[in-house]
Amino acid sequence: MKDNNDMPGHLARRFQQIAVAVFLAEVEDAGFDLTPVQYAALATIKANPGLDQVTLAGLIAYDRTTITGVIDRLVQKGLAERRASSRDRRARELEITDEGRRTLRKITPAVESAQRILLRGLSAKEGEDLMRLLRKAIAAGNDLSRAPLRETPV
Amino acid sequence: MKDNNDMPGHLARRFQQIAVAVFLAEVEDAGFDLTPVQYAALATIKANPGLDQVTLAGLIAYDRTTITGVIDRLVQKGLAERRASSRDRRARELEITDEGRRTLRKITPAVESAQRILLRGLSAKEGEDLMRLLRKAIAAGNDLSRAPLRETPV
DNA sequence: TACTGATAGTCAGCATACTGAGCAATATCA
DNA sequence: TGATATTGCTCAGTATGCTGACTATCAGTA
């Protein structure tokens, strides 16, 4: 029988498991307490000031029910703010705070270090290849998850 | 600034996200209710009758605190049994039930189909390359997560 | 304008994953 | 043998990620 550990689905789970562990370790070493998910959300808020939650979720492929809790924690840590939108009373506009900006700036080396560690078993070319193939497989499967990546709409 | 969506960590998360969605969809279409994690645990119990929980966790790289709940659900569904070990009174021996065996057999086509769908954007060679590179990166990072893969000890 | 459908956000519930702590039992070694 | 360390398992707490349902609001149209 084929080894279950060799199936693409299992490799996907393992790779993600290691990626999260490495990220958290590097970030903690740098003296911060931020998850990969929180980091991506914060960086995307900074790059798109005033965006609403659904747009944010689409830009980083999070489920809209997940993003609520993530933003809750960013707000609670004082890194982001959630305001009512003036144009659409259903929507909340998101902004990064000065503290959030400071954190992003200081945390960047740790985040980049994590990415290097994640690929440390591969040569530079192999790392490039892996990322290219992952991007291609992901693009083909984008709409298969409930939270697909959405190019900036609007 | 570099696009966050292009970082290896983000690609890892996305690939895993799609892998789980595809697995669940295929398995549900086949008329079953089993998660990727439950499937891997059940298949490993079948292949290693009487193994204990820590060994099972090591064979599929799950955390020991996660495996408890997974087995709870397999037992509750009648697919596996948990017995006290006679050799070590701390340990629990795991066995697959007839129902579990039947389920595994019938679910296999759906599981294989899921793996194909996950790689559907890639050529056969690209799929092979992706898996080879993932295996290599994972092997190099194995000990960086709290739940590393352990070759059958004993 | 009134109706209908879509959209933004939240919530409850469930299933991974992990941290850290704790209990019971086993192993090791002075 | 007796103290110490280790191991197998569980639990409480936290953070994703999802399903499905619900409210409030908006948009399009008859």
Domain around B17: 4-144
HSE (side-chain half, CA atoms, 13 Å) at A15: 33
Residue A150: inside a domain, yes or no?
no
Rounded to the nearest angstrom, the minimum Cα separation between B138 and chain A is 6
Mean pLDDT of B38-55: 97
Which tokens belong to A148? 């697909």
Alpha carbon distances (Å) from B106 to A34, B72, B100:
42, 22, 10
HSE (side-chain half, CA atoms, 13 Å) at A147: 22
Give the pLDDT score at A2. Answer: 61
Nucleotides on strand C lying under 7 Å from protein C-beta: 7-13, 15-21, 24-27
Question: Do residues B23 and B36 lie in contact, with contact meaning Cβ atoms separated by under 8 Å?
Answer: yes
* Contact flag B19-A13 (C-beta cutoff 8 Å): yes
Residue B105: inside a domain, yes or no?
yes
Residue A5: inside a domain, yes or no?
no
Q: How many domains does chain A have?
A: 1
Handedness of CA B14, B20, B23, B25 (dihedral sign): negative
Alpha carbon distances (Å) from B63 to A135, B4, B133:
28, 28, 24
Q: How many CB atoms lie within 10 A of CB A153?
A: 8
Helix, strand, coil percent content, chain A, rounded in steps of 5? 65, 5, 30
User: What residue has token string 């990166």?
Assistant: B137
Residue B82: inside a domain, yes or no?
yes
Strand partners, A96: A80
Residue B154: inside a domain, yes or no?
no
Mean pLDDT of A41-67: 97
- Nearest-CA residue to the C1' of D12? B65
Nearest to B137 by CA among A22, A135, A118, A114: A118
Which tokens belong to B104? 């595994």
Q: Rounded to whole angstroms, how far apart are CA atoms A136 and A142?
A: 10
Residue A41: inside a domain, yes or no?
yes
Give the pLDDT score at B28. Answer: 96
pLDDT in tens, B96-151: 999 999 999 999 999 999 999 999 999 999 999 999 999 999 999 999 999 999 97
Binned at pLDDT 50, 70 and 90, residue A127 comes out as very high
CB nearest to A118's CB, from B5, B9, B43: B9
Q: Is the pLDDT of residue B1 over 60?
A: no
- Of all nucleotides, the one whose C1′ comes closest to residue A16's CA is C17
Q: Is the pLDDT of residue B154 over 50?
A: no
Q: Is the pLDDT of residue A3 over 90?
A: no
First to last CA, chain A: 50
Residues of B in contact with A144 (CB under 8 A): 18, 21-22, 25, 117
pLDDT in tens, B58-84: 999 999 999 999 999 999 999 999 999
Give the pLDDT score at B36. Answer: 98
Is strand C within 7 Å of residue A80 (CB)?
no
Mean pLDDT of B20-35: 97
Residue A127: inside a domain, yes or no?
no
Give the pLDDT score at A154. Answer: 40
- Look over chain A and give the mean of its residue pLDDT values, rounded to a whole number: 95
User: What residue has token string 């009373």?
Assistant: A89
CB nearest to B8's CB, from A115, A136, A139: A115
* Residue numbers in A 119-148, CB below 7 Å of strand D: 145-147
- The backbone torsions φ and ψ at residue B43, rounded to the nearest 5 degrees and listed phi first, read -65, -35
Is strand C within 7 Å of residue B88 (CB)?
yes
Q: Rounded to whole angstroms, how far apart are CA atoms A50 and A38?
A: 17
Nearest to B2 by CA among A62, A127, A47: A47
Helix, strand, coil percent content, chain B, rounded in steps of 5? 65, 5, 30
Radius of gyration of chain A (CA): 17
Give the pLDDT score at A146. Answer: 94
pLDDT in tens, A56-69: 999 999 999 999 99
Give the pLDDT score at A151. Answer: 78
Give the pLDDT score at A152. Answer: 67
For B52-79, b/e burial (b = at least 16 CB within 10 A) is bbebbbbbbbbeeeebeebbebbeebeb
Mean pLDDT of B42-54: 97
Share of chain A above pLDDT 90, in %: 93
CB nearest to A19's CB, from B8, B111, B120: B8
Residue B149: inside a domain, yes or no?
no
Domain of residue A66, CATH code: 1.10.10.10
